[in-house]
Amino acid sequence: MVRTALAALDDVSFVEAASGLRAIEMLVTEPVSAVVLDLNMPDMHGIDVLRFLRSHDHYRTLPVMVLTTRHDEASREAALAAGASSYMTKPFTPGGLVQSVRELLDARVARGGRS
């Protein structure tokens, strides 16, 4: 559903990872402009993936949206404290997701980053 919604961003390409470790592996080999990250993954919690990204200079400013089923304030605060650029809960509207990702990409371009 996420991939289908984000297909509306026709100027952006996507890669998918089924686990946190696979996401990290892919980030090393696939250039990305933004990450949509779930907190609940099979082998590694999304917060741990986020902390890994923020601990490396190359990914420090990479926009990361956390998209999760966790509606509690503690999860939101933990994600933002770990470096999430934004936090969205499921269920989501496709238009809302597209708008939020577009805003992250536009902000990165405005700061002088890649689109």
Q: What is the CATH number of the domain that holds 76?
A: 3.40.50.2300
Q: Is residue 36 part of a domain?
A: yes
24, 46 contact by CB (below 8 A): no
Classify 110 as helix, strand or coil.
helix
Question: In which domain, by residue range, is 19 found?
Answer: 2-93
pTM of the model: 0.89
User: Does residue 43 belong to any structural domain of this protein?
Assistant: yes
Q: Is residue 112 part of a domain?
A: no
Asked if residue 24 is part of any domain, the answer here is yes
Contact by Cβ (8 Å): 103, 9: no
CA distance 10 to 23: 22
Q: Is residue 115 included in any domain, yes or no?
A: no
- The confidence score (pLDDT) of residue 115 equals 46
Flag whether 105 is in a domain: no
Task: Output the pLDDT for position 14.
Answer: 78
- In tens digits, the chain (115 residues) has pLDDT values of 898 899 888 877 778 899 999 999 999 898 888 999 999 998 999 999 999 999 999 999 999 999 999 999 999 999 999 999 999 999 999 999 999 999 999 987 777 765 4
Separation of alpha carbons 30 and 93, rounded Å:
27
For residue 103, tell me if it sits in a domain: no
Which of helix, strand or coil describes residue 37? strand
Residue (of 93, 41, 21, 33) closest to 65 by Cα position: 33
